[in-house]
A and B are shown apart, each in its own frame.
Chain A
Amino acid sequence: MSLKDLISPFFVWQRAFEKPYTVGLKPIVERPGAPAYRGFHINMSDDCVGCGSCFTICQNHAIDMVKVDGLEAHGGDSGLRPRFDYGRCCWCGLCVDICTAGSLRMTNEYAWFTTNPDDFRFVAGMENKSWDGRTGGYHRHPDYHLFPPKRIEMEMLAPEESVASFTEVAKGYTEEQAKLEADRCVECGICVATCPAHMDVPDYIHSIRDGDYEKGLQLMYRTNPFPATCGRICTRRCESVCPVGIQGEPVAIRWLKRFIVDQVAEADYARILPNVEADTGKRIAIVGAGPGGLSAAYYLRLKGHAVEVFESQAQAGGMLRYGVPSYRLPDPALDKDIEHIRSLGVEIHFNHSIGRDTAFSDLLDNYDAVFVSTGLNVPSQMRIQGEDHPRVMDGLKLLDDVANGKDPQIGTSVAVIGGGNVAMDAARVSRRLGAEVTVLYRRRIEDMPADTEEIHEAQAEGCIFVTQAIPVEALNAAQSDQVTLKWGEAEMLQDPKGGRPRPVLQEERMHLDTFDTVVSAIGQGSNLDYIPTEISDQLQIKWGKFIPGDYQQMVLNKLFVGGDVANATADAISAIEDGHHAARGIHRFLDTGQRG
């Protein structure tokens, strides 16, 4: 034992003269948690969509999704909110990391005293807590993700290529791409409520991950007999509410749907999909072989009813056939859907117009039920001076001609008026026919009702967009085969009552431009003239549209309606749901005699 070793420990005494670490800090001040501290939860309830991903990821079942007073389920929000049980929470913060909406985070508060243990079970963001309004605390780093925020790009034809032909622009996912994209789904099911047909979206996406495409097809046909079609041109409201899209890009639900259909050969459909039930002896007439009519036909036929469809055109599909250009929806895809419906024994009378070839009242007399889904096929007119000019044509006619293989003779410079999907289709079709295209629209790009994707593709294909432009007159041009369009610039005016801003013409800023053709595509209306007045007088009809009751049933018990002519959304998927729901109503009505 050395002397050094005996003395050395007394070095401790030196510390007696140092400033102490702890004592002396009086009054004792509360030490806040670090700025990124994982403390008590806070949920921005207005941003939360109740997807339940926090519930799913919680490793210790510390979270319940619960109903909360004052919050109702509505499109894109389940109305449920996470309730935390601090008896089980381990403050790992996975719930924060996975939160699709980015509404959930943790504060840096870590002290909470209460005499009632049940207090430690609380709905974050819905109950007042002392840490409300704290800005510090753990939140997900923007570069850190627990699911891929970006979607798998769909391979598209290059614009210079796509504009040269009517070949389908979207090439479809490969299996690898589809699986990667399907992987992004958090399976919350928020989209199901928003999908007009309430398709089992998470389930068929799951089937892609499992590689079980036949099951996927079965799941889709539960609610939609047009998956090949909807997989291409659906308005995909589902994607607009997909929680994955809140902080990233929504799951490409539409493309995944298309992928499943593309994997299964039509020849296998009969084996995979449900077959017709025993004959019921009931007969049902359907007016219009569009998506609404054929959807009703499919589900009614499955139940064993005899179904006859009356179609005024030479082919089935309605607007899908005559209004959607083949570069978006190629005929083989549409035919795949329709052929399966027909293969079940649905009879379609082509070139058969109700009102002309058969009286509407005869249908009501001779069939057990009638489903009407005649769509919107009358183009709205601009009602401006000179609209009857021979070089002014309507967009539906242009698309119809092209679908029928006729040359619409539009020349080399075309003005398309309108901002809806028909306008975009007309513009892109005109580009494919070799014309320079100018799109004139009363409002701004962001106000366009057309699908954003279509707008972008139209732009990429070289369509020139002139927005806030109001046409006021069509004039004779110097050359007889041209037309001069007089249009004025518009200012957007905020409507004090709300709603989208309204354009107001600025008379001092008028322009004259000359085109070979002006295509008007400002909207469509219905033609219900085939219904005699004595019947239509009994029906609820407004703004040219039927107002159906529950199960799409009209006051006349036998009459059910659906599709664009009976709903406000006027898209294929809504028509499909109307048809499905009417089929449900008709079956119920025929089965039990109950009204909706």
Chain B
Amino acid sequence: MPQPPTHSSSLDMAQPEPIDLSSGKYVKLWQGPQHPGITGNMSLELTLCGDEIVECKTHVGYLHRGFEKFMERRTYIQNFTVVCRIAVPEPTFNEYLYSAAIEELAGIEVPERANWLRALNLEMMRLASFLMWTGGMSGAFGLYTVPNWTLTYRDYILDLFEELTGARIYHMYIVPGGVRNVLPDGWKARALEILKGTEKMMREVDRVMMNNAVFKARSKGLGLIPPDMVDPYGIVGPNARAAGFKRDLRKDEPYLVYDQLDFEVVTATASDAYERAWVRQQEIFQCINLIRQMLERMPDSGPFQAQMPNVLHWKIPPGETYLKAECTRGEYGYYVVTDGSEYVRRVHVRGPSYTHAIAVMERLAVGTNIADIAGLMVSLHTYPPEIER
């Protein structure tokens, strides 16, 4: 654990020398809004001097659908179908946090079995999301074999989701009050089988990507995040853990059933793109392990939904809460304010990408080679829709 950061140095906004485009020294280049190096739609307005980036400005809004606004017009139950769309590759965290916040404000106690099923879903989601990221990360460095492997296994996990929840991407499974369904017959066995395959595949990824001379050469030292940058920039999750911060909400402020599970927080020290990738690789194995633990220990019977009021005219007393969970990118949070009516007064969704993809990215990009900008971006693991909600 590094010393508490000092705030002086890191707070300076990136202040590049004044850029005179007419000098002919610079080139403006737009990366995105459609670009495989950006997981989602977002653009980077880059100013280059030669191969080197001297200024990076981010532009978001391509995915702005005004979720927070129109959640104020929909009933509590209707909103649960909306929130999953705020982070496409990881909808489950939205479902869980929204439901948990509503439950806290409405005073609903969720049955134990639902908590296990929720945690199981969250870990499966983490696994699927990390697999997709692994593909993206290796692809950004020109390794196109790994994405084929990881996306295949991600699809197997989506098969499991499809069986359990009825959908592959927008599961809409975790609902205020509990979950919508229980594990189908034979599901556990199939899940274990797929986990086994995923684990084997990930060991191969370890050899092909993490121990690849090209990958190492290009990612080591790239996008260095000094520890004293972490708090001022609100950096969380693997990005912070790779900088030596042993912070994981599952461990620090356990929710659902995480206090009953056995795992260690993964940390690294070099805090570059390679270490961030390494932390995520370790967390994939950790995730598989957690799912196995849960499959073994979760109850097979009992209620999975709390006694619910009639959701068609569900009123929740005035209150506010902020709940958070550790998603693949770190602290994901839902701030919910109710005013006693049938509609939520305010929802604010705190996604880690909000700072990772804008303030952090704009700073780290400066001085980076144009060829590595995609790798840098992916190494921060960002999802644009959670920025603009």
B311 nearest CB neighbor, chain A only: A146
Find chain A residues with CB under 8 A from B313 CB. Answer: 183, 187, 209
* B81 in contact with A8 (CB, 8 Å): no
* A143 in contact with B307 (CB, 8 Å): no
With A53-B312, A93-B172 known as contacts, the answer to whether A36 contacts B181 (CB < 8 A) is yes
The one of B78, B81, B149, B163 in contact with A34, judged by C-beta atoms closer than 8 angstroms, is B163
Count chain B CB atoms within 10 A of each CB in A5, A14, A37, A185 and give the residue with the most: A5
With A1-B216, A183-B309 known as contacts, the answer to whether A146 contacts B181 (CB < 8 A) is no
Interface code B28-68, partner A: CB below 8 Å = 1, 0 otherwise? Answer: 00000000000000000000000000000000000000000
Is B305 at the interface (CB under 8 A from chain A)?
yes
* A38 in contact with B166 (CB, 8 Å): yes
The one of B81, B163, B311 in contact with A147, judged by C-beta atoms closer than 8 angstroms, is B311
CB of A105, distance to nearest CB on chain B (Å): 11
Name B's A-contacting residues (CB within 8 A): 74-75, 77-79, 81-82, 143, 145, 149, 152, 159, 162-167, 170, 172, 178, 180-182, 184, 204, 207-208, 211-214, 216-217, 303-305, 307-313
Find chain B residues with CB under 8 A from A37 CB. Answer: 162, 166-167
CB of A10, distance to nearest CB on chain B (Å): 9
* A59 in contact with B81 (CB, 8 Å): yes
With A36-B163, A98-B312 known as contacts, the answer to whether A145 contacts B216 (CB < 8 A) is no
Is A97 at the interface (CB under 8 A from chain B)?
yes
* B308 in contact with A147 (CB, 8 Å): yes
* B211 in contact with A5 (CB, 8 Å): yes
Find chain A residues with CB under 8 A from B145 CB. Answer: 12, 15
* A38 in contact with B208 (CB, 8 Å): no
Find chain B residues with CB under 8 A from A543 CB. Answer: none
Q: List 21 A-B contacts (CB under 8 A).
A: A5-B216, A8-B213, A9-B213, A11-B207, A34-B166, A35-B163, A36-B181, A37-B162, A56-B312, A59-B79, A59-B82, A90-B170, A91-B167, A91-B170, A94-B77, A141-B182, A143-B303, A143-B305, A144-B180, A144-B305, A146-B312
- Could you list 4 further interchain pairs (A-B, Cβ under 8 angstroms) beyond the known A36-B165, A38-B167? A15-B145, A93-B180, A94-B77, A146-B308
With A8-B207, A187-B313 known as contacts, the answer to whether A141 contacts B167 (CB < 8 A) is no
Query: Bound state CA distance, A9 and B210, in angstroms?
Result: 9
Is A112 at the interface (CB under 8 A from chain B)?
no
The one of A21, A53, A106, A144 in contact with B304, judged by C-beta atoms closer than 8 angstroms, is A144
Query: Bound state CA distance, A39 and B365, in angstroms?
Result: 44
Find chain A residues with CB under 8 A from B152 CB. Answer: 21
CB of B70, distance to nearest CB on chain A (Å): 9
Query: Bound state CA distance, A145 and B303, in angstroms?
Result: 11
A59 nearest CB neighbor, chain B only: B78
Query: Bound state CA distance, A6 and B213, in angstroms?
Result: 5
* B204 in contact with A11 (CB, 8 Å): yes
Query: Bound state CA distance, A54 and B304, in angstroms?
Result: 23
CB of A208, distance to nearest CB on chain B (Å): 12
Q: Which 3 A-B pairs have the closest CB atoms?
A: A59-B78, A92-B81, A147-B310
Query: Bound state CA distance, A92 and B159, in angstroms?
Result: 18
* A187 in contact with B312 (CB, 8 Å): yes
Q: Which of A32-74 contact B (CB under 8 A)?
A: 33-38, 53, 56-57, 59
Find chain A residues with CB under 8 A from B178 CB. Answer: 144
Count chain B CB atoms within 10 A of each CB in A2, A21, A34, A98 and give the residue with the most: A34
CB of A491, distance to nearest CB on chain B (Å): 46
* A35 in contact with B184 (CB, 8 Å): yes
Query: Bound state CA distance, A98 and B77, in angstroms?
Result: 11
Q: Which of A98-114 contact B (CB under 8 A)?
A: 98, 106
With A21-B152, A183-B313 known as contacts, the answer to whether A144 contacts B163 (CB < 8 A) is no
Q: Which of A124-144 contact B (CB under 8 A)?
A: 138, 141, 143-144
CB of A390, distance to nearest CB on chain B (Å): 58
Find chain A residues with CB under 8 A from B211 CB. Answer: 4-5, 8-9
Find chain A residues with CB under 8 A from B74 CB. Answer: 59
B165 nearest CB neighbor, chain A only: A36
Query: Bound state CA distance, A493 and B366, in angstroms?
Result: 93
* B310 in contact with A148 (CB, 8 Å): yes
The one of B180, B182, B212 in contact with A9, judged by C-beta atoms closer than 8 angstroms, is B212
Find chain B residues with CB under 8 A from A8 CB. Answer: 207-208, 211-213
Interface code A488-529, partner B: CB below 8 Å = 1, 0 otherwise? Answer: 000000000000000000000000000000000000000000
Count of chain A residues with a beta carbon within 8 Å of a chain B beta carbon: 44
Query: Bound state CA distance, A477 and B257, in angstroms?
Result: 77
Find chain B residues with CB under 8 A from A90 CB. Answer: 81, 170
* B217 in contact with A145 (CB, 8 Å): no
Is A587 at the interface (CB under 8 A from chain B)?
no
A53 nearest CB neighbor, chain B only: B312
Find chain B residues with CB under 8 A from A184 CB. Answer: 310
A5 nearest CB neighbor, chain B only: B213
The one of B163, B166, B182, B304 in contact with A93, judged by C-beta atoms closer than 8 angstroms, is B166
Find chain A residues with CB under 8 A from B312 CB. Answer: 53, 56-57, 98, 146-147, 186-187
Query: Bound state CA distance, A135 and B11, in angstroms?
Result: 61
Query: Bound state CA distance, A1 and B170, in angstroms?
Result: 43
Query: Bound state CA distance, A5 and B309, in angstroms?
Result: 60
CB of B103, distance to nearest CB on chain A (Å): 15
* B310 in contact with A36 (CB, 8 Å): no
* A33 in contact with B212 (CB, 8 Å): no
* B213 in contact with A34 (CB, 8 Å): no
Find chain B residues with CB under 8 A from A12 CB. Answer: 145, 208
Query: Bound state CA distance, A145 and B180, in angstroms?
Result: 9
* B81 in contact with A186 (CB, 8 Å): no
CB of A505, distance to nearest CB on chain B (Å): 51
Query: Bound state CA distance, A34 and B168, in angstroms?
Result: 10
B305 nearest CB neighbor, chain A only: A144
* A148 in contact with B170 (CB, 8 Å): no
CB of A529, distance to nearest CB on chain B (Å): 53
Query: Bound state CA distance, A92 and B173, in angstroms?
Result: 9
Find chain A residues with CB under 8 A from B159 CB. Answer: 34
Find chain B residues with CB under 8 A from A97 CB. Answer: 180
Interface code A446-461, partner B: CB below 8 Å = 1, 0 otherwise? Answer: 0000000000000000
CB of B240, distance to nearest CB on chain A (Å): 27
* A9 in contact with B207 (CB, 8 Å): yes
Find chain B residues with CB under 8 A from A209 CB. Answer: 313
The one of B77, B165, B214 in contact with A146, judged by C-beta atoms closer than 8 angstroms, is B77
* B77 in contact with A57 (CB, 8 Å): yes
Find chain B residues with CB under 8 A from A14 CB. Answer: 204
CB of A92, distance to nearest CB on chain B (Å): 4
The one of A92, A141, A183 in contact with B181, judged by C-beta atoms closer than 8 angstroms, is A141
B216 nearest CB neighbor, chain A only: A5
Query: Bound state CA distance, A209 and B310, in angstroms?
Result: 12
Query: Bound state CA distance, A59 and B175, in angstroms?
Result: 15
Find chain B residues with CB under 8 A from A9 CB. Answer: 143, 207-208, 211-214
B204 nearest CB neighbor, chain A only: A11
The one of B79, B180, B213, B307 in contact with A141, judged by C-beta atoms closer than 8 angstroms, is B180
CB of A137, distance to nearest CB on chain B (Å): 8
Q: Which of A304-339 contact B (CB under 8 A)?
A: none
Query: Bound state CA distance, A4 and B206, in angstroms?
Result: 12
Find chain A residues with CB under 8 A from B78 CB. Answer: 57, 59, 94
Count chain A CB atoms within 10 A of each CB in B75, B145, B313 and give the residue with the most: B313
Find chain A residues with CB under 8 A from B217 CB. Answer: 1
Find chain B residues with CB under 8 A from A5 CB. Answer: 211-213, 216
Find chain B residues with CB under 8 A from A11 CB. Answer: 204, 207-208
CB of B85, distance to nearest CB on chain A (Å): 8
